[in-house]
Homo-oligomer: A and B are copies of this chain.
């Protein structure tokens, strides 16, 4: 089955207790893509500026990622985010955010992408997410993520697109913000009431919770000895989840649960080191071995 991700491909500047890295490869679609590519090919839609290095393009392509939908605007600059985890490894302080190219590209879903069976709408503006969804021709199984800025400033648009998706994957802060509920177990059903038949709330090192017609399902994170850079963990979680679903052609809640265990493992790989470096080091076989080990760690 074909999988399409729509999100950002960007530069990150990151400070963690393990050091500082400037203008390294980042972005929601990037991390999603690297994670999902353990399961097979996928399609990516995003935009970068003329400053985006060709080696990054090559690295994405080498993972089997179709970049037909990666617009390059030579006159623009690539999105840049700077974050600092030095105080708290669970949440970064944003030091700088330059949307750059995101402010001046015109969305156009390539013809060859429109028949995708699985669609992940990462953290774009809700109007962009809706526009992508409406361009699709084969009724894809659609899962959405969002960001604090859209919850705070584009709530009507976000609610419009939420009514049209199958699943919602977001972090605990976003879940509280969007539901108005401080308690996550009460937030989940509120979020389902906005449209998605299931919701996954990601809690970083504390795992994730699924809300569905089957009730609540709780999953721990991988117990990790080192977290060097948490950036991209959430997008990598979504990539593992959606990669599994698309590769198996499944859409059931049982499959979403299994997808969550894969997403937990891809998230644990992402935080091993800066940028997408850890994905280069973990082979598909080692990924499967880590998944087997994780299933053993949660078997009670």
Contact = CB atoms under 8 A, between A and B. Distances in A.
A261 B300 contact: yes
Contact of A297 (B183, B218, B220, B224): B218
A186 B225 contact: yes
Copies of this chain present in the complex amount to 2
Given A218-B221, A223-B216, A225-B183, A298 B296 contact: no
A88 B34 CA distance: 37
Contacts of A297: 215-218
Interface string A194-235: 000000000100110100000111111101111000000000
A223 B209 contact: yes
A185 interface: yes
A218 B217 CA distance: 14
Contacts of A186: 225
A76 to B, nearest CB: 41
A217 B185 contact: no
A260 interface: yes
A297 B220 CA distance: 12
User: Chain A: interface secondary structure?
Assistant: mixed
Contacts of A299: 217
Contact of A298 (B203, B224, B300): B300
Interface string A74-101: 0000000000000000000000000000
A177 interface: no
Nearest to A258: B300
Contacts of A260: 300
A269 to B, nearest CB: 16
A166 interface: no
Interface string A259-300: 011000000000000000000000000000000000011111
The 6 closest A-B pairs by CB, nearest first: A218-B220, A206-B206, A185-B223, A216-B223, A185-B225, A257-B300
28 contacts: A183-B224, A183-B225, A183-B226, A184-B223, A185-B223, A203-B206, A206-B206, A206-B207, A207-B207, A207-B218, A207-B220, A209-B223, A215-B296, A215-B297, A216-B223, A216-B297, A217-B297, A217-B298, A218-B220, A218-B297, A218-B298, A219-B220, A219-B298, A220-B220, A257-B300, A260-B300, A261-B300, A298-B298
Given A185-B225, A207-B220, 12 more contacts: A183-B226, A184-B223, A215-B297, A216-B223, A216-B297, A217-B297, A218-B221, A218-B223, A218-B297, A218-B298, A257-B300, A298-B298
